[in-house]
Every structure is written in structure tokens, then in C-alpha cells.
Amino acid sequence: MKPLLPFLFIAVSLSINAQGLKEANELIENFQFEKALQVLVQLNDSTDIHIPLQSGYCYSRLGNYKSAIENYKQALQIDSLNRISLNQLGQIYSRTNQYALAEDCYKKLIYIDSLNSFYFKQYAALAASTNYDSLAAMLYFKTLKLNPRDIESYSSLGNILLEGENYYQLDSLIGRALFVDSLQSSILLLKAKSELAQHKYKKVIVTVKKILEWNDTQPIHARLLGISYFQLNEYAKVVECMNYLLLSGVKSEWVYYYLGASYRELNDLPKSIDAMSKAIEGGISENIGVYYSQLAKAYEESKDYKNAIHYYQAAYEKSKTKILLYHLARNYDVYFKDKSSAIAYYKRYLASDDTIKLAREYSRRRLDVLE
């Protein structure tokens, strides 16, 4: 009977491991990862790949990536082509900025199964996160060739094409995606962004309104609508959109700029001045010269020529836009009895290369009168 003892021991061990794995699985299904690890650590079958796989999964869910990597590597020692281990390692390496190791995992997965769209998608996301947009685009195109219904990949690829201003390919891609799901909000949003970039403002409004039929209003929707309404001179609607953004906590300089410019067009000059002043207070972008210019116009229309001169000068210092010399000349002309500054600015304007015919003609006429 002695020869049977080793076989009985093996059978008992296998039974214990099987029972332990079952218990660990139940704990994992209930998100009790620490308790699952306590069970798994007691299992001692070095040939059972399920033990390091389950352990690696528990450690990764607990954020202990070092131990997760060790366990997934142990699983690969048992099966060097194990897809679960390679995929999990690829994701962990990506999260921990070990991009070369992550790339190696995804390349191995694609070598194992070159028809699996998910592997190409994972590799594409990695490439995009490391700013290799051309590689990411190629991989997303391959993903969609293998799985033409992957909406997430349409969206990710679309954003790369949008960033690269490749509108022809982008619009074609959007058409294919909407054929798969005509009400997919992420694709409709991409469509609206493309339309805005191509100055198709009426189409932007139609597209965003279609999104809002099925989704709550978000700041991005108000932004797209507000900018489009501004370009279409529908200033009351711009004010509505920008105020929505302010209430949503978006207090960027460009929000105040659109408010200020719209209030000026609506002839609400106090609100225009207030909003444009706030744009300047928060202004850190290259558009600060535009903000100064808009504020100057609002003051000029309020007949506050002193402040108009101040902000036209600030705008000119920032942008060196020649037409501002003309506006300075006019405001000096109106505000000061001494016309010497007005004459100087009219002459500087006429000496510039600005080609606005009406402004040049007016400047010549005023110089004829003043000199």
C-alpha cells in the first residue's frame, strides 16, 4: 500500500488547492481582495497558474503594483504566452509610466493573436498617451478594421484627427461611427467640434441640439453653442450660454470675453465693461490684447474717452495692431482740446501699412482740418 501514499498526498493537495481557489474566487467576486490574498498565500502549488493570476489581480485592485507585477511575472514563468498576464502587465506598466515594458507586452499579445482588436486598441491608447499620434492613429485604424463597431476607438481616433486638423478623414470616420450608432453622444460631440473647427456654425448648433435631446446640458455643449451663436451674431443666446458656464463653475477669461463683447453688441455697456474687465483680470493668454481692445470700445461707446484711450494704448502695446493707432487718434481728437496727440497718432497710422480704406480716408480728412 505504501506506493499509493504519494498519489494520495497529491490528490489531497489538489483538492485543497481547488477548494482554496474556489474560496478566493468567491471573495474576489465580493471585492474582498485582502481576504482573498490570505487564502491564496496558503496555496503552494507552483505549477497552478491560477494562483499567481488571482494574486496579481488582487494586488492590482489594491494598488500594490509591485506585488502584482511579481505575480504576473510568476504566471509567465509557468506559461510565457499567457494573455491575461501580458495584458494585465501592459496596463500596470502603462499606469506606472513604464512605457517601453508596456509596449513590449502589447507587441507580444499582437504576435500571439494578430486578429484581436482589443490588443491593438490597448497599444493605440498607450501610443496616444505618449504623444506618438501617428502610431496611435495607425493602430486605431487597425482596431476598427478588425472591429468596425468599436465606438470608443472611433472617438479616440477622431480626437487625434481633430488635433491634427485632418478634417477630411475625421468627417469620414464620424460618418462611419454614426452609421453604427446614430445617437452616440461622444461621436456627435466629436462631429460638433469638427464643425466648429471648420467654421460651420449653423451645423454645430444643429448637432449640439441633437445631443441635448438625449443628454443633460454639459459645459462643453454650452461652449460650442455659445461660440457658434457669437459667430452668427445671436448675442442674447451667447449671454445665456456664457452665464450657464459661469454658474457651472467655468470662470475662464474667454467666458468673460464673449460676455463682454456680446453685452457691448446688445448695448448693455456697464455689463460689457464689467465682463471685459474680468477677462483682463484673468487674462494670461495671447488674447489679452483683444480683451483690452474690446474694453476700450465699450468705454468709447460709453463716451468715457479717458478710459478708452488708456485701454487702446494697452491693447496696442500688447498686439501692435496698426488700426489701434487710428482708434487712439480719434479718441484723443474727441477728448482733448489740444490736438497735438491726435495729430501725431493720425500721422503714425497713415505711415503704417494698414489698408483699411475708410480709416485712412478719415485720418487724412482730419489732418487737413487740424493742421
The verdict on residue 101 lying in a domain is yes
Once rounded to an integer, what is the mean pLDDT over residues 235-248? Answer: 97
The verdict on residue 70 lying in a domain is yes
Kindly tell me if the per-residue pLDDT of 2 is higher than 60.
no
By residue range, what is the domain housing residue 19?
A: 11-113
The verdict on residue 311 lying in a domain is no
Q: What's the pLDDT band for 16 if we cut at 50, 70, 90?
A: low
The verdict on residue 266 lying in a domain is no
Once rounded to an integer, what is the mean pLDDT over residues 23-46? Answer: 86
- CATH for 56: 1.25.40.10
The verdict on residue 72 lying in a domain is yes
Once rounded to an integer, what is the mean pLDDT over residues 20-45? Answer: 86
The verdict on residue 236 lying in a domain is no
- Contacts of residue 12, Cβ cutoff 8 Å, sequence gap at least 6: none
Number of domains the chain contains = 1
> pLDDT tens-digit profile of 76-134?
999 999 999 999 999 999 999 999 999 999 999 999 999 999 999 999 999 999 989 99
Higher pLDDT, 24 or 109: 109
> pLDDT tens-digit profile of 130-151?
989 999 999 999 999 999 999 9
Q: How much is the pLDDT for 13?
A: 44
The verdict on residue 87 lying in a domain is yes
Once rounded to an integer, what is the mean pLDDT over residues 339-344? Answer: 90
Once rounded to an integer, what is the mean pLDDT over residues 54-66? Answer: 94
Q: What's the pLDDT band for 12 if we cut at 50, 70, 90?
A: very low
296-311 in b/e form (b: 16+ CB < 10 A) is: bbbbbeeebbebbbbb
% the chain with pLDDT above 90: 68
Question: From residue 344, how far is each of 37, 134, 301, 338, 340 by CA, in Å?
Answer: 83, 54, 23, 11, 6
**Separation between Cα atoms, residue 120 and residue 201, nearest integer Å:** 35
Which triple of cell numbers denotes residue 262?
A: 456680446
Q: What's the pLDDT band for 9 if we cut at 50, 70, 90?
A: very low
Average per-residue pLDDT in the chain?
90
Kindly tell me if the per-residue pLDDT of 4 is higher than 50.
no
Q: What's the pLDDT band for 371 if we cut at 50, 70, 90?
A: confident
Kindly tell me if the per-residue pLDDT of 8 is higher than 70.
no
> pLDDT tens-digit profile of 274-300?
999 998 887 666 778 888 888 888 888
Which triple of cell numbers denotes residue 74?
A: 510568476
% the chain with pLDDT above 70: 95
The verdict on residue 74 lying in a domain is yes
